Amino acid sequence: MGFVSSIIALFILGWLNSYLYRKYLRKRNKDWIAFLAIISIGVFWILDCLIYFDVLNMTWLNSLPWINIPASGSGRYFLWNSFMVIGLHPNISPQAGMEIVELVLLISYFPWYVVGKLLGKILHGYRTYQQGLYWPFRPTKTVIKKREK
């Protein structure tokens, strides 16, 4: 969770979901691609909103020795500095007027997810019989095994 980390996570999730969809889900129900998008983006939006409004209090992370989240405005502070969990602490203090940037970042979760999904579609294909860019680069041994089947 966090503005930038959510964008990265949703990009990767979009990619992963498009692979899962082609490989396992499309043959069961073609609507899975929409379900996955709603679930993934919805979860991130809801969690980030809960953190933003301090409904989910992230100060419990202060138990980790390298984390120091201030008691007031802890949600906004965490969303800007979420990489501190892995030791990267840019120490961005939310200021008045940054709400617009926060809103834009929050809205951008959707297009970033879509970009990840499109990349997955190109790399792995979209329909069950498609294999995307992976097809011409498959290892020769894999091709032989498939032909033998």
Which pair of tokens denotes residue 24? Answer: 């396992």
Shortest CA distance to 40 belongs to which of 66, 70, 73, 14? 14
Q: How far is the CB of 45 from other proteins (least distance, A)?
A: 28
Residues in contact with other proteins by CB under 8 A are 121-122, 125-133, 135-138, 140-141, 143-144, 147
Judged by beta carbon, residue 104 or residue 133, the one nearer other proteins is 133
Q: Do 10 and 40 form a contact (C-beta atoms < 8 A)?
A: yes
Cβ 148 to other proteins shortest distance, Å: 10
CA gap 51, 139 in Å, rounded: 45
Shortest distance in whole angstroms from residue 53 CB to other proteins: 40
Q: What is the DSSP secondary structure assignment for residue 63, as one 8-state letter?
A: G
CB of 93 or CB of 142, closer to other proteins: 142
Q: Which is nearer to other proteins, 89 or 145 (CB)?
A: 145
Q: How far is the CB of 130 from other proteins (least distance, A)?
A: 4
Q: Which one, 92 or 123, has the nearer CB to other proteins?
A: 123
Shortest distance in whole angstroms from residue 139 CB to other proteins: 9
Evaluate whether 122 touches 21 at the Cβ level (below 8 Å): no
Compute the distance between CA of residue 59 and CA of residue 84 in angstroms, rounded to an integer.
13
- In our burial notation (b when 16+ CB lie closer than 10 A, e otherwise), range 101-132 reads ebeebbeebeebbebbbebbbeebbbeeeeeb
Which of 43/118 has CB closer to other proteins? 118
